[in-house]
């Protein structure tokens, strides 16, 4: 299978941290690495980092502005 990615790890750029990672979640063609996914799930609404995540997710779902 020439040119395919089968059996290879593909690095993608994380929406939240900007780092290139192999493991994570793709939401509407946007990648979120595992570390940022964990931080997103454990960040409280009063945490300053929460606004950072909301801004990034609005890029994924612009209809929720």
Domain ranges of the chain: 12-64
Residue with tokens 């059996």: 7
Q: What percent of the chain has pLDDT over 90?
A: 43
- For the chain, give the number of residues: 65
Return the pLDDT at 28: 80
Could you tell me where the DSSP H helices lie in 13-47? 34-42
Claim: this prediction has a pTM higher than 0.85: no
Flag residues of the chain having pLDDT under 50.
1
For the chain, the farthest-separated pair of C-alpha atoms sits apart, in whole angstroms, at: 49
pLDDT of residue 4: 54
CA distance readout (Å), 8 to 5, 34, 39, 54, 56: 5, 18, 27, 32, 28
Sign of CA dihedral 54, 56, 60, 65: positive
């Amino acid at each position: 299978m020439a040119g395919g990615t089968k059996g290879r790890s593909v690095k993608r750029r994380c929406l939240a941290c900007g780092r290139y990672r192999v493991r994570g979640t793709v939401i509407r063609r946007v990648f979120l690495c595992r570390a940022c996914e964990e931080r997103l799930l454990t960040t409280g609404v009063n945490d300053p980092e929460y606004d950072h995540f909301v801004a990034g997710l609005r890029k994924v779902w612009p209809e929720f502005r």
